[in-house]
Structure 1
Amino acid sequence: MTRCDFCGKSVSLPFHCQYCGKNFCDDHRLPPNHACAGIAEWKKTPAPGVGIRYGGGGATAYGGGYATAPKDRKPGRVPFWKHPYFRVALVLVVLLVLIV
């Protein structure tokens, strides 16, 4: 068991601060909560997940957003000649013509 370097609480899974290198309990894991020596460096890093939107294509950590659908066709529609059942039907028609 490790002890929190700030309050002395016994901790089974301590949080290791990457800015000062000490171990802390869950209450003092963030740099502002344990008077960290590297607080200035911590404030410069961007917050995780800023600008992320899930569910749409093209989401990035900093740009965010949804990919826009092309304006010339409706999203989700597949042309009939690219549909798998059309290809199967076409093969069946060709085979039927060859047999007859």
Structure 2
Amino acid sequence: MSFSTHVLDAVTGRPAAGLLVRLEHDGRVLGEGRTDEDGRLKGWTPGAGVNRVVFDTGGYLADTFYPEVVVAFTVTDPSAHHHVPLLLSPYAYSTYRGS
């Protein structure tokens, strides 16, 4: 099982490079890092059950209504890859289950 994310800045139309991201499971931090120049981060292993990916949007955007975006997701198939992308702007965000 593996986890990846891709963050796009909807204001600039570019990848959100350098955004701090954290993966949590059962109150434990499983991984923490910054998105690369393409806005991507990968290689973490989520736990079975509910996980949380936390995006430090306030550290990336100077003026934002959402200083942190938390996406909770459930791992039911431990052998599956889990991709959680984020489309980000100062006053809105969206996410979905990617591939």
Fold conserved between structures, TM > 0.5: no
Q: TM-score by structure 2 length?
A: 0.20
Report 1 or 2 for greater relative contact order, CA contacts < 8 Å, sequence distance ≥ 6.
Answer: 2
Q: TM-score by structure 1 length?
A: 0.20
Bigger-Rg structure (1/2): 1
Normalized per residue, the structure richer in strand is: 2
Normalized per residue, the structure richer in helix is: 1
